[in-house]
Structure formats: C-alpha cells, structure tokens
C-alpha cells in the first residue's frame, strides 16, 4: 500500500488538540522538523509529548513549546532549552522526568504490546518512592508530584514497575524510506526514532530520500512498514536543514 502523503500538512491534519505524540530524535539529531513545523502551523494545542528532550529554544519541539502548544512533557533531559526550564519552574508546563533508558524501554514496550516491566533503575530514589515535582504553581510550590510506584523483589534484588508508553501519534525522521513505510536511519539518528515509530498508534515518517518498494534490502530495514501509516518525502532543502545545538571553535 502506498503510504506517501502529499505534504507534511496533510500528514498531520488529523492531529487534534489534546493529542499525545511520541517524537523521535536526540537533541537536534534526527528530529522530524518538517512534521513539527506543520504541527505548529496547524495550530493544535494542549499536546502531551514523549521525547528524549524538547530540542532548543528555536528549533525542534522548542518551536511548539515557545508557542505554548505543549501541556505536558515526558522527557529525560531539559538542559538545552531555557524556555523549557522557565515554563516548568513557572508552573506553565507539567514535566515527568524519566531516566533515559527507562524512557526508551517504556516506548519500546508500548510498541511491543507489553503493558509494564520491572527495572532496577530508580530503586531507592524518588523515581520509585514518588514525590518528584511534575508541576509547580506560580509561587514555586509543588501542585502535582509523581506517585509511588510498585516494587518487587526478584532473586534478592528490588525492582520498580514502569508503565509502557503508547501515543496517539508517532513523529519520526528517517534517512531513507519506501512507499510502504519501511525506514532506514543513518548513524546517530537511529536513537529514539525507532521507539517513537513503534509506540505511536498512527506513525508519521518524514524521509530524506524516498525510494520504491524493494529498493531497501530486508536486512537493512530498521523500522518495518507495519509500524508506519504515513510517509512524507522531504524536499532537498528540508532534508539539508539540520541544525547544530552548540558550535565550538578552536
């Protein structure tokens, strides 16, 4: 089945306000920037996003954040985005900080039909016992905190139960993809993209190079097309528009 859409705007047209979205990428590497821009232009609000981070202040998920479109973030890292920190501390944004490996496994589990899993990560901390501030009020008081999680002992070691993540939509970026939605990521872009593709009930993939079915060898496929419902072929300009978080010179 040909899954190619006419544009990124067409691909995101049914993402409504209040939706949950899983977004691939790590920092600014491998982020679905064209789909994010289309979502910004669509004007949807009250979104909950699952992503390793929120980009930077003027790119990636930072664009949605700056426009006040995000209600809640489940993420591992917020250090490159000043607006993210400001909104969180001002009580404008709810944030569930999650250990990076746990976040990755929560997304993978959601895409695999696994409701929850036990992990050693977070045992003996507030990740397990609860009390981590998810939302502040304008005066810095905690109004929403993380709940305690179930723990269990296996072979003499304590583990904490983590729930899987499934999202209404998954937004990813691939180096190459075919019309059936089979995707290949390049180098470090193979980070959270496969996981976001798996855990989205409807997954949208922007691809830098669109090829015909059969041109990608089966052993080269990173995300099978069964996980992908819509494909957007990027223009050469969109494919080349890759930002750098920090420039350093000698």
* pLDDT given at position 229: 98
Residues of the chain with CATH 3.40.1080.10: 8-115+164-240
* pLDDT given at position 250: 81
Q: Can you give the pTM of this predicted structure?
A: 0.94
Which residue in 156, 87, 77, 151 sits closest to 117, CA to CA? 151
**Angle at the Cα of 86 from the Cα atoms of 81 and 87, rounded to 5 degrees:** 100
Take residue 161 and report the two structure tokens written for it.
């139960």
Take residue 27 and report the two structure tokens written for it.
């920092």
DSSP 197-239: HHHEEEEEEEEEEEE-TTSS-GGG-SB-GGG--EEEEPPHHHH
Which residue in 70, 149, 135 sits closest to 102, CA to CA? 149
Take residue 60 and report the two structure tokens written for it.
């990636």
Per-residue pLDDT of the chain (250 residues; tens, 9 = 90+): 899 999 999 999 999 999 999 999 998 999 999 999 999 999 999 999 999 999 888 899 999 999 999 999 999 988 788 999 999 999 999 999 999 999 999 999 999 999 999 999 999 999 999 999 999 999 999 999 999 999 999 999 999 999 999 999 999 999 999 999 999 999 999 999 999 999 999 999 999 999 999 999 999 999 999 999 999 999 999 999 988 877 788 8
Q: For 8-115+164-240, CATH number?
A: 3.40.1080.10
Take residue 233 and report the two structure tokens written for it.
């072929």
């Amino acid at each position: 089945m040909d899954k190619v859409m006419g544009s990124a705007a067409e691909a995101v047209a049914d993402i409504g306000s209040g939706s949950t979205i899983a977004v691939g990428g790590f920092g600014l590497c491998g982020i679905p920037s064209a789909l994010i821009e289309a979502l910004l232009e669509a004007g949807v609000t009250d979104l909950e996003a699952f992503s390793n981070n929120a980009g930077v202040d003027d790119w990636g998920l930072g664009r949605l954040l700056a426009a006040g479109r995000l209600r809640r973030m489940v993420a591992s890292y917020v250090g490159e985005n000043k607006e993210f920190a400001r909104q969180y501390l001002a009580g404008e944004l709810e944030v569930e900080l999650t250990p990076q490996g746990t976040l990755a496994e929560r997304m993978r589990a959601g895409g695999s039909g696994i409701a929850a899993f036990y992990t050693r990560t977070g045992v003996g901390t507030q990740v397990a016992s609860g009390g981590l501030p998810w939302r502040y009020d304008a005066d810095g008081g905690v109004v929403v905190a993380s709940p305690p999680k179930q723990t269990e002992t296996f072979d003499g070691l304590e583990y904490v139960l983590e729930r899987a993540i499934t999202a209404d939509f998954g937004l990813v970026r691939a180096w190459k993809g075919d019309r059936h939605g089979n995707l290949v990521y390049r180098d470090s872009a193979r980070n959270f993209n496969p996981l976001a593709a798996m855990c989205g009930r409807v997954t949208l993939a922007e691809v830098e190079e669109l090829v015909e079915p059969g041109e990608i060898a089966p052993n080269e496929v990173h995300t099978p097309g069964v996980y992908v419902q819509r494909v957007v072929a990027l223009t050469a300009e969109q494919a080349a528009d890759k930002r750098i978080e920090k420039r350093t010179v000698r």
